[in-house]
Amino acid sequence: MIDKRVASLREAVMDIPHGASVMIGGFGSSGIPLGLIEALRQQRAGDLTIISNNAGVGEEGIASLLRDGLVRKIVCSFPRSAGSIWFEKRFEEGAVELELVPQGTLSERIRIAGAGIGGFLTPTGYGTKLAEGKETRVIDGKGYVLEMPLNADFALIKAEASDPWGNLVYDTAGRNFNPMMAMAAPLSIAEVKHIGQLGELDPERIVTPGIFIDRVVSQETIHVPT
């Protein structure tokens, strides 16, 4: 029997160890697994490498991991936003390392890691500082940078609904990085609003097939301890 449901956010992230690399879905306020991040923060694993489009704002989400000193390195495209105070502070202190990746290169590097592809040639960033030290080539007069796969030990995913097999449907623009990240980690954990019965989700609306998901946890049945 395949049943990927776990009973609590705490249990869902319990085995993420010190030093792990963790992908976290989301774009701004959209599609972020805030419950899983909070459970990870309380779990106190540190020295983390976080891969996410943004670096968090205010006091919640990735910002709370930075505030608590749990992050060693962050890989993202847009760390600085209105309110990204904890990222800015930790970066200025030299406490957190930043790998800045153009957004489309970030999502494609994650996708190819999940797709078993060893690298790809992108025109993005050619001739810029972000391509320094990278292999390049010119094909038919157009310059390309060779970019490599980006995977992680764990992926924290946010979706709208799931089923016991881990199939996921999303709400509006909440997809963003979640579908690719679900593919790129050997252990992908999804936080959803609702887990239905098998067959309840419209198969034509499923965006992330359950094969990419290892655990699902529903906000209906769990409570984030504070």
Options 47, 198, 223, 225; binder of another protein; rule CB under 8 A:
198
Smallest separation (angstroms) from another protein to the CB of 208? 9
Rounded-to-integer distance, Cα 106 and Cα 129, Å: 16
Residue 28 binding partner per list another protein, its own copies, none, with a CB distance cut-off of 5 to 8 Å that depends on partner kind? another protein
Smallest separation (angstroms) from its own copies to the CB of 118? 4
Q: How far is CA 191 from CA 4, 22, 95, 101, 127, in A?
A: 12, 15, 29, 26, 40
Rounded-to-integer distance, Cα 63 and Cα 128, Å: 29
Question: Helix, strand or coil for residue 182?
Answer: helix
If one asks whether residue 199 binds another protein (CB under 8 A), the answer comes out as yes
Binding mask 4-23 toward another protein (x if CB under 8 A, else -) reads --------------------
Options 35, 170, 190, 192; binder of another protein; rule CB under 8 A:
170
Nearest of 203, 149, 176, 192 to residue 9 by alpha carbon: 192
Rounded-to-integer distance, Cα 36 and Cα 58, Å: 17
Query: Diameter of the chain by CA atoms?
Result: 58
Phi-psi region of 123 (alpha: psi -120 to 50; beta: other; left: phi over 0): alpha
Smallest separation (angstroms) from its own copies to the CB of 143? 9
Residue at token pair 């769990």: 222
Residue 178 binding partner per list its own copies, another protein, none, with a CB distance cut-off of 5 to 8 Å that depends on partner kind? another protein
Contacts to its own copies by CB under 8 A: 108, 112, 115-123, 137, 139, 142, 144, 169-170, 172, 202-205
Residue 77 binding partner per list another protein, its own copies, none, with a CB distance cut-off of 5 to 8 Å that depends on partner kind? another protein
Smallest separation (angstroms) from another protein to the CB of 9? 19
Q: For residues 181 and 189, is the Cβ–Cβ distance under 8 A? A: no
Q: For residues 91 and 68, is the Cβ–Cβ distance under 8 A? A: no
List contacts with another protein (CB under 8 A): 1-2, 27-31, 53, 77-81, 87-88, 91-92, 98, 100-105, 107-108, 110-111, 113-117, 122-130, 143, 163-165, 167, 170-180, 183, 198-199, 201, 203-204, 206-207, 209-212
